[in-house]
Structure 1
Amino acid sequence: MALRASHALRRPFSSPPVSSKPSIRTGAFSVRCSSFDSHDARKLVLEVKEKLVKDYGGLPVGKNGRDDEDMIYWFLKDRKFVIQDAVAKLTKAIKWRQEFKVSELTEESVKSIAETGKAYVHDFLDVNDRPVLVVVVSKHFPAVQDPIENEKLCVFMIEKALNKLPDGKEEILGIFDLRGFGTENADLKFLTFMFDVFYYYYPKRLGQVLFVEAPFVFKPIWQLAKPLLKSYASLVRFCSLETVRNEYFTVETLPANFRV
């Protein structure tokens, strides 16, 4: 999917833990002790805040805004604490959230496209305590389904999955159920859109992607898509239904559509 700047949600960026060590809180800012000194991290966060006030005063404030210190810290960490790089990526993300109206996405606003059953956030975490976003690719029909609605559903589901992150966890698991996939389900634009959204606006939130029971007809699509996904292609694992059952869930937590 071509990246479209046009919508935003609720809590994508929770306080970003970087280790299991105790957290340190200074004012409104909370980080975890790590190899990067917390005092230095705090100093860099404040530098970014000041720069955003000075150069991007028109950006929104509040949760996921230019003064959201946890969000600032997350993007600093993503950009290896290089201030200019973090500011560039962060301002792009904040503008996108505003233009895409992420905060206005609700269950009701995506209801019609969600009722296709093409994507859902699983009720249970995987064995690694990651929220699980499942895409049933055989129910995706780009020729007849509105691409804008597909994008809204994609972002809504990402936000919903991130809202399920347990304390101390940072990443979600994406599962593409490719059983029954046909050429009518192929959609390079949407696949590119989704991975671009993760790269630019939810960096380091996607821990792994499973392509389950990929049929032969899917392989040429993957060869075309793989270069477009850049480093994210390395997160993809082709696997069987049995692998999903045995390595990622317990009998009690396995998604219903993988029980048969």
Structure 2
Amino acid sequence: MDMENSVGDSETSDGRDEMEKKKVGLLRALVETKDPTAKDVDNLMLRRFLRARDLDVEKASMMFLKYLKWRHAMGYTSETYIQNELAQEKLYMQGRDKKGRPIGVAFPCKHNYSHRDLDEFKRFVVYSLDKLCASIPEGQEKFVIIADHKGWGYANFDIRGYVAALSIMQDYYPERLGKVFLIHVPYIFWTAWKVIYPFIDKNTREKIVFVENKSLQSVLLKEIDENQLPEIYGGKLPLIPIQESSY
């Protein structure tokens, strides 16, 4: 019986793969007629946009063409233009989880909306996502984030900044987030969460894990080997600011 189920699962998986492959071809044909620069992207990128729209070729094409237009306008962000954001050292990148996905560690308590320029913050988000994606090894497509809210307060609640960051990640980097661990979450954060939640799409919501303080180390070690976990969480790696990361 187990063998029959295994064969059935394999056939189902093969069927899904073939359907995806066919739809990626349809998506490529559609977007290349509307923007010739689409020829420069690989099938894996097109597949991510397709999956983000539940394999709907028309919706995926609109999403992808919007991405191309945005990327042409945005370009790739230089550290020169985000010095204020980098100086706050609120994002680090070090280690990989057990699936090989790079790990980013964010400290929202270091983000103060009264001292930020929104355009610079958006560029910082793009810079950070580009660097995380560039560090993803062959055979993997996603990264993991540990968002440490220790010390977070209302001075750090930046609704415009949070929504902008969510929009950039969800609209232009689909299927790149593997999981985000929200840790050391203070009680006052839940007020902010109610405001932010409606802006989080279904796919992203499914990747968010709230971790209780008492089970923090065990939860993280289940996903990340000790020699890849930051020292501050009981691991062996030092935290390295994202701009100094060698990835």
Output the TM-score relative to the length of structure 1. 0.73
TM-fit CA distance, 1:193? 1.9
TM-fit CA distance, 1:252? 2.5
Task: Indicate how the Cα distance of structure 1 residues 259 and 94 shifts in structure 2: closer, same or farther if over 3 A, else same.
Answer: same
The number of residues matched between the two structures is 220
CA distance in 1, matches of 2:214, 2:140: 26
CA distance in 1, matches of 2:40, 2:81: 21
Instruction: Extract unaligned runs of 5+ from structure 1.
Output: 1-20, 22-32
TM-fit CA distance, 1:259? 4.9
Task: Indicate how the Cα distance of structure 1 residues 180 and 72 shifts in structure 2: closer, same or farther if over 3 A, else same.
Answer: same
**Contact 1:241-1:258 at 8 Å conserved across structures:** no
**Contact 1:245-1:254 at 8 Å conserved across structures:** no
CA distance in 1, matches of 2:162, 2:150: 17
**1:64-93 superposed Cα distances (whole Å, 9 cap, x missing partner):** 4xxx43322332233333321221111011
**Contact 1:174-1:210 at 8 Å conserved across structures:** yes
Report the residue type matching 2:135 in the other structure. K
Task: Indicate how the Cα distance of structure 1 residues 198 and 216 shifts in structure 2: closer, same or farther if over 3 A, else same.
Answer: same
CA distance in 2, matches of 1:253, 1:54: 44
Q: CA RMSD in A?
A: 2.6
The residue number in structure 2 matching 1:74 is 48
TM-fit CA distance, 1:169? 2.1
SS of 2:114's partner is coil
The residue number in structure 2 matching 1:93 is 67
The residue number in structure 2 matching 1:36 is 16
Identity %: 22
**Contact 1:133-1:157 at 8 Å conserved across structures:** no
Report the residue type matching 1:35 in the other structure. G
**1:170 aligned onto 2:144:** no
CA distance in 1, matches of 2:90, 2:140: 26
**1:226 aligned onto 2:185:** no
Report the residue type matching 2:54 in the other structure. K
Q: 2:209 aligns with which of 233, 237, 243?
A: 237
**1:210 aligned onto 2:181:** yes
Task: Indicate how the Cα distance of structure 1 residues 202 and 220 shifts in structure 2: closer, same or farther if over 3 A, else same.
Answer: same
Q: 1:124 aligns with which of 92, 95, 98?
A: 95
**1:55 aligned onto 2:34:** yes
**1:114 aligned onto 2:86:** yes
Q: 1:155 aligns with which of 126, 130, 133?
A: 126
TM-fit CA distance, 1:143? 0.5
Q: 1:194 aligns with which of 156, 165, 170?
A: 165
Q: 2:24 aligns with which of 45, 51, 56?
A: 45
Output the TM-score relative to the length of structure 2. 0.77
Task: Indicate how the Cα distance of structure 1 residues 241 and 152 shifts in structure 2: closer, same or farther if over 3 A, else same.
Answer: farther
Task: Indicate how the Cα distance of structure 1 residues 242 and 107 shifts in structure 2: closer, same or farther if over 3 A, else same.
Answer: farther
**Contact 1:198-1:204 at 8 Å conserved across structures:** no
TM-fit CA distance, 1:134? 1.6
**1:83 aligned onto 2:57:** yes
Q: Which has the higher helix share?
A: 2
Task: Indicate how the Cα distance of structure 1 residues 146 and 83 shifts in structure 2: closer, same or farther if over 3 A, else same.
Answer: same
Higher mean C-alpha deviation, range 211-220 or range 244-253: 244-253
**1:247 aligned onto 2:219:** yes
**1:143-171 superposed Cα distances (whole Å, 9 cap, x missing partner):** 01212111111121111111222233222
